[in-house]
Amino acid sequence: MNRLTEHLKLLRIKNEKALILFITAGDPTLEDTSEIMKALAKNGADCIELGMPFSDPIGDGPIIQRSTARALKNHIKLDDIFHLVKIFRQGFATPIVLMGYYNPIVRYGIERFVSACKENGIDGLIVADLPYEEGELLERQCRSQNVHLIYLLAPEPGSRRTKAILAASSGFVYCVSHYGITGVDQKPDERLDEIVTSLRSMTDLPIAVGFGISSAEKAKAACKSADGIIVGSWLIKELENGLSKPAVAADFTRELKRAIQETGSQ
């Protein structure tokens, strides 16, 4: 069974909320990324979402764009990311999901890319600019390698398209809390609880809320109905301001994990 599936099932049994944390591979260096990943894993991250740097990150806000720019200056390639995860796997079983854009995957070769994900211990894939209508080829390759393909799902709970995306998704449901780009300090959709409840009636997959989770209060609010949260821009901003990045990552993870578990135990 896929590591991500196993871990999320265990959290559900224990009535715990999932903390999924995003960082960009190669920011500020690959060596730093490796140490940050270890700190996240040791301090309660349930899944690490590892960003694949791309020159046109259309779905990302200014914080992740800055992070991506720093990584691109280091000339980070997909093979560097695969090696990074391979080394991480020597000591950690924390699920890893790659997040990025479709162009680099196509250039690398879809079948070759998904095979490399499997070989190096990657459990899932999020492609921010891939609509599910165009995802059949990637879905097929992911299924053959037991790598989850996780689609972004905008807040349209009653639509026919939502049902189709849920049917095509695996791993977990990535429920976008509001329209727009990542990292914007914007209120989640006021109907978020209603949206998550509606989605839960249509799928057995765990539901994680992302985009705009920028405080413990927002995290706890999202976890009232969702199975977990996805946090990226907030963490990267903290890392930007910290001298010891692994220490910042450790403190951030430990404190946020504790905060959302208060919601899970209610």
> Choosing from 60, 123, 189, 227, which is the catalytic residue?
60
> Which residue is listed with tokens 């009653």?
158
CA dist., res. 78 & res. 96, Å (int): 15
Active site residue 56: no
Handedness of CA 152, 14, 225, 183 (dihedral sign): negative
CA dist., res. 118 & res. 228, Å (int): 25
Give how far the C-alpha of residue 217 lies from the chain's centroid of Cα atoms, to the nearest Å.
20
Q: Is 40 left (phi over 0), alpha (psi -120 to 50) or beta?
A: alpha
CA dist., res. 51 & res. 30, Å (int): 12
Query: Which helix (H) or strand (E) element contains residue 67?
Result: helix 62-73
Active site residue 139: no
> Choosing from 16, 27, 46, 49, which is the catalytic residue?
49
CA dist., res. 59 & res. 57, Å (int): 6
The candidate with the shortest Cα–Cα distance to 81, out of 44, 43, 109, 121, is 121
The candidate with the shortest Cα–Cα distance to 19, out of 125, 95, 99, 88, is 95
Tokens linked to 38: 């270890």
The candidate with the shortest Cα–Cα distance to 249, out of 227, 260, 234, is 234
Catalytic residue positions, numbered: 49, 60
